[in-house]
Amino acid sequence: MWQKVYTWLDERLGLGDMYTALLDRPEPRGNWWNTLGSASLFLFLLQTATGIFLTVYYTPSPDHAYDSIQYIMTGVAFGWLIRGIHHWGASLMIIVVFIHMLRVFFTASYKYPRELTWLVGIGLLLMTIGMGFTGYLLPWHQMAFWATTVGTQIAGSVPFIGDFILKALRGGPDLSALTLQRFFAAHIWMLPAVLLALIGAHLYLIIKHGESHFPGKDD
């Protein structure tokens, strides 16, 4: 029965081919350092899932942001768990993405024909850091407020266009309700959209070229 259903679907979707291309592709002899990309992808999915759930209660307004998070932590069943995973997962994702980049650099995996994979990876790193920067403001406590004050001030120190960048980031000269709202929009819509597109490109390139061999003594 299930065999029939599977065969019917496989004929139309090519499930078997997909499995071979995605999961059963030939791999060079590797080690645990080769798993960091998958770990980054897993953390991205975890952050997406917990982040979506957090938006059920979180309110991006200066009047309610802090209180809504207090409510998530103390009033909602498993709120501490969902937010805890999102909070620690965020730091972990930055770390894992960064070590992944170092691994690719030290094994020279960015070289021909994988230069574009590396360039897309730079975009992924920047987007991940952007997620961290915008997410940091959302709790709207003292640490979040002043960290973003400092962060946007640093961006504002760019010669000539610094003032414009600062105002564009803050949505005006001050850190305000507009800042919180646009950081929220960036955090849940814009950056994830770009991140998702770049992840798609990154994965396509990895499947297209396969993973690189570890350099041997002759290389």
Among residues 1 and 77, whose Cβ is nearest to other proteins? 77
State the sign of the Cα–Cα–Cα–Cα dihedral 12, 16, 20, 22.
positive
- In the list 27, 67, 115, 174, the residue contacting other proteins (rule: CB under 8 A) is 67
Q: What angle do CA 130, 136, 139 make, to 5 degrees?
A: 145
Whether cis (ω within 30° of 0) applies to the bond prior to 113 is yes
Structural contact between residues 26 and 210, judged by C-beta atoms closer than 8 angstroms: yes
CA atoms within 13 A on the CB side of 158: 11
- In the list 6, 8, 78, 189, the residue contacting other proteins (rule: CB under 8 A) is 78
Q: Does 28 bind other proteins (CB under 8 A)?
A: no
- In the list 34, 40, 47, 68, the residue contacting other proteins (rule: CB under 8 A) is 68
CB of 194 to other proteins, least distance (A): 25
- In the list 5, 12, 77, 219, the residue contacting other proteins (rule: CB under 8 A) is 77
Among residues 138 and 198, whose Cβ is nearest to other proteins? 138
CA atoms within 13 A on the CB side of 165: 12
- In the list 33, 35, 41, 71, the residue contacting other proteins (rule: CB under 8 A) is 71
Among residues 76 and 95, whose Cβ is nearest to other proteins? 76
